[in-house]
Structure 1
Amino acid sequence: MGEEKKIVAFKRKRIDEELEKLFTTGLFIVTGKGGYGKTTEVLEFLRRQNNVNTIYLSLMFSENDESWLWKKLCTAFKVVSESLSKEMDSLGFPNNNFDIDNVIEALCKNIKRETVLVCDDCNNIDIDNDRIKKLIERMTFERIPYFHIVLITRKTLSSQYTYYELKNKCVILKEEVFTFNKNEIGELFNINGIEVNEENVNEIYDYTFGWPLYVYLLVKGYDLKEQLFYNLLKGFKLIKNLLYERMEEKEQNILLKLCLLDEFSIKQAVYITEESAERIIKTLEHENLCVYYDVTAHTYKFNKLFKLMLRGELEKSSIDEEEIYDKWMEWCIKKKTYIKILEKIIFLEEYKVEDMNAKNDICNSFKNICERGNLKQFNVAYEDLELSFLHNSILCKFHRKYSQMKNVLNKAQKCIKEFINFTDGCGYGLEYLITGEYLYMIGNLKEAEVFVHKAIEKAENKNQHSIYVYASFLLMKILWNNNDKNIIYIKINKLEEYAEAYDLNKTKVNIDLAGAYIYGLLGKKDRISDWIKEYSRNLYEIDKNDIEEMFNVIGILLLLEERYSELKGLCKVMIQKYIHSRNIIGLVYAYIYDAAAAYKLKEISSAAEAFIKAINIAKRDNIIMPFVELSAFINDLIINLRENSSDFMKDIIKNITVCTEVRYENVCGKTILKNSSIFDLTERESEVMDLICTGETQNDIAENLHVSINTIRYHLKNIYEKLEVNNKTLAIEKYRNISAKA
């Protein structure tokens, strides 16, 4: 066996910038699962600091006993001084505020330079224990000069610490900070002598999600003589040797069965595997061994690299994949989560080249269940899909790859038709709804309206209540854009009557949310349901699933109520969630809300950054309407960017402004103009037009701007094209009109 390959690590500047915040606070918490290099990054950062005492306290083998903890702590303080260590030991673990005062006095007396106490593996002690928590609070919140505590833990923090962070009493650094981004993956491979291109980097990120442990495993398993695909197999081998082969056969079989699923709950895992799967799943998740727990969805999922390793082992096993899909289908049908079945079929259709067998298995399984009569047993025929009100769009459930929205639509239409045929009508009208949503998103409102009316008609005929509500909601957004306010109010009333007629409690919730968003667009916050307003006042107590379903509604309500700081905090949470779930449409909305909130808080650079991120994501699929919907809150930001941004940014803004086909007044009293082409002019083109309007000739302008006459003619050609005119007189008239109104 050859010499083991040594990996060259590299310092990531952005992580150092985050860690520097520990010197601004008494309490600095680093939280996240294993394999993210949290401890290594913290200790390496402190090692590079000059004149800093680092006290390292490992709690890996904690006895979870206060006396034991105090002994460990006193011994660690020898780094500062022997006398401090002895004094702390003599004081003993503090039992009351008086004892804590003595500890604080000892620390103040002995610590004369920056000192950082790093408590590692805090997941092995109960930091929510009242006495331990009180000690930590007093030692940090009273800000002992030069003294800082760093807690490193795998545990999910209690809401109390989140509250402290909101009150600026501590700083919390989460595992996402330590995740490798694509640029860093490329750099790590390159400094280790491995040349990778953009496609390679994208593949590595797709397999690892930037988890440092896996990224380093792939570097370690790379052979320069082989292709990247085979090197991934070496990563599989490492994981297989470290984890899979050390499990009992029963545990291996549980994981092999579950690897066919995108996500699963404990109850679902038990139903599908017909085994007691809870222990192995929770053990792997707790130790961060390739299993993630989504606290918002209450489901587990495998890391992709681990999942692919399991899929390879599954092919060698005697497990019948179609039987697993049968059990999964039955579970979805029993729980009436039909949309999950449809999502799976569409997802496999989208990736059918690399996973055609799975596509055939799941479709055959679904057909078999239909033929066996199981669907009749569960009353699926014409059953409502029971769609949640997610980001104002059904399409976002299926659109998860950049630049592929039209392609996803085409494949989804095909799969939906098969699904409706299999189920004898469940989902009727959905193919028209998502087509209407697509046309709406790209700004083609006229055609979108045609498909929306078809969706409403078909859904109403087959009692597809969720589709009916979604389609009606989309129609109201189109009516809002056309400034048909009176018709909107009629539609909202009709929806409420619809829910009453069918006694639909869950649908009533969706109708309230749909109405709330429309009222938000109209600036009528007084008409928004009281229960939604109450929800928005308790953001940190609400289940994250509820917040996700209500995000757009809560977002627009927070803007109307000028609760900008709360909105920024909410956007931070949702952006991370959408990035992880690859919810592209949701991500566009989240960045727009983030930009609007930051701008209102006078954080101009932060607002511009968020807005540009929204633009860069949206332009790949020509997603227009989220910007138009929220134009009331970003109009000033757009004007600011128009005046201070690059030509590239102004060109992007054209995609937003040019789509508005009517002139209407928005809720902030600003005006969005039809074809606001002034936004399209570059700074130099605006200069030229200003001079033209004063009566200057082309020669005079060329002389004033110190350019050639040909350059001025070139600018005028572009100006005429952008203003959609063919002579100077019309250009002056249109330029003056738009300038005055803008």
Structure 2
Amino acid sequence: MAIAKRYNTKSLYFSERITEAMGRIFDHPLTIVEAPMGYGKTTAVREHLISTGAHVLWQKVNDSSTNSNWYGFGRLFSKLDDNRSQSLIQLGFPNDSVSRQEAFNIIVDIKLPVQTVLVIDDYHLMDSSDINSFIEFLVRNEIDNLHIVLIARFTELQNIDELMLKGYLNHITKETFELRSKEVIKYYRLCGISLKDTEADKLYSFTEGWISALYLLMLNYIEDGNFTTLINIYSLVEKAVYTPFSEEIKDFLLTLCILDSFTLEQASHMWQKENAGKLLTEITNKNAFVKYDRKTKTYQMHNIFTNFLKDMLESKNVRTEIERRAAQWYLKTGDYFAAMHYFYKCKDFDQLLFSLEQNKANGLNNENKKELFLKYFEECPEEVKGTHHFALLIFAMAFISYKEPVMFSKACSEFNLNLQRDESLNDDFRKRLLGEYELLLSFTGYNDINKMSEHHRKASKLLSEPTSFIDLKANWTYGAPSVLHMFYRECGKLEEHVLDLIKNLPYYYQITNGHGYGAEYIMEAERYFNMGDVINAEIVIHKALYKAQVNKQTGIVLCALFLQIRLAFFKGDYSHMLELFRVMYESISDVSQRNFIYTINICEGFVYSLLYRRDKIPSWIEIGDFNNSRLLFPTVPMLNIVYGRVLLINGEYLKLIGSAEHFIGIVSVFPNLLGKIYTYIYLAAANKQVFREYEARSALRQALSIAMPDKVYVPFVENCDYIKPLLEKLYEDGNYREDISIILELFKTYQKSVEQMIKENFSVEENPRLTSREKEIVQLAVDGHTNKEIGERLYISPNTVKTQLKSIFVKLGVNSRVLLKRYLETLSE
């Protein structure tokens, strides 16, 4: 073997197979680069994209945290459109159809440069079927100028074969990256080493074309003049990479190996010496196992090297100190959950609880953190919890969110015991803690405002300033557009409930700085409305809206707007309703308000179900896809009110009858009488439709028995299109004659409004006409063909296809291939 005089071990070699495969990135919405560790996936993608001049958005995945990864995903777009980048972050990971569509709309609105490539590196670490679904959703809807590349050791996308068949996916596998004997020769020659065929064959047999092993063997050859056949690759890493470093650099690397990536500032903090930058320069110049990303200004270690260093770290007594430094870094930078993670690793529970207190109660409604909070609480020594009173309150609040009553009770017991034992507390601080505790206890009395207020009153006497451990930006209504639905809990006491709310809520406002301000007047206006008193309802709702807007209570504002929409509905003023919906969407334009889209969807579903407009009902509501929605349990009764009406207009009577018991179970938890009234009305309507007269009348009597003591008429008015004959029959039989007369009289006005709105805004028109060419494009598109494939079949360019599809979308009033397919299905029904 002839050895060149100079070596260039950092030379990059890409086979023709790799180059060709990478060249197909721009022909597909999605490319998956899938191969085990050390096959050069990341390097190949990075170098190819650099050579094309593409605009690259690169995300490096470090763990399986959906929240942190979504934050990183959102930040990718910050330089292109900071507002929409923040909107993505505030939206949170889209784990249901509504938020998925919202995320898609935000991304579509970003002006992406031509040939933009979104790369997600180490995608396998996410390990989430929801993320897979979201990626597939983006891919199938083909965002202009955007190509997605997933780099992973393995992927679990269920529809890979289908995506490939329909032309969405360019799948690059391990076989593409394996260097065959001839390619090994070319690679080594590029690095300054000439190989014989037999030597190349031997290397290929040993490494199976794994370029990382070939690289390590090359370093060993340069050092010793021969090729080793070590089975343990870590021994080779130690010999070829680690041992040549100075002792100082070895120690430096060990302090950083627990981090998958790091900045110079972070490295300096971990090293605690001033020469971190100098050492990193030396390291990156000497080998390919530590890379510097100039764009993100971060350093990244190769997985093989990181794992080797972690193994080395286990044999030393410095791991705890290193983890403590990492925890302190994250505490300093405000990443409190990461700080808690590392403080837990080094068993520093005092600082863990300090980090928890700094974070307050933010992010506690994330179910993914449940196991962590349970673990932190259970394993934390009692003497440590004894000095962190606020932390115990936060734990208790978390356990309420996670529906862990036993753990909640345990946290409260420890809190009270610790207060008794802690002699260091002065009187003022002790009063403050007791005030916060009373506020915490009030949540155990939901939705009995008098029970809740007993704690609010006690808290107001103890607290000299607003609460400091509860997130006051949270939605007071839990996402529902009705206060009456929340607090109407006892038959015959609706007016009393309203007065109780008016009397008691000021105590809550005092200790929460106006959280939910105006809610009592929303409920008062809703009571008037449900009695058919639209004049008083309109007067009071303006009062409520003013109070909510002044105090920036978006959830309460949406409740007020929803009632105004219902008032406009009774007047038949459809244009005003549309204007109010526009105001609704404007009110959640702030990035922190994105989750209110579910509230607006509930309002839309309610209104359009009354107008029989199935096409305008949000799809997730129409199909009953509630499992992944972000609405909390107290909102479910309101959601079922809408869903029940949707089942009714869809003619799913048997499903509605079968679901009624479940609906009643949900509304009985707190209880929520409004949901119960609607459910019995729907049950009566559905039974009537399937000729079960006895069951229908029985269900309607139950609804009337609950609602009439409080003169709650509107639910019956809204559904008179189904239950009018039943009401008339009950009237003839002498049941609720005065109340039924009022209901039927209100229905006359209501019915005229509905007929007017339908006639003026939804009269049947001829379907939009498509040209023969447009029809061909539509059919190919819904069959799953890409723009390129459609162009090839119709002998037009992909750009022409894209332009034609946009025109078709506008003509048909849709904005995606999914909706286009649904439109065609509607025509065929």
Do the two structures share a fold, i.e. TM-score over 0.5?
no
> Which of 1 and 2 has greater Rg?
2
TM class by shorter chain equals: 0.3 to 0.5
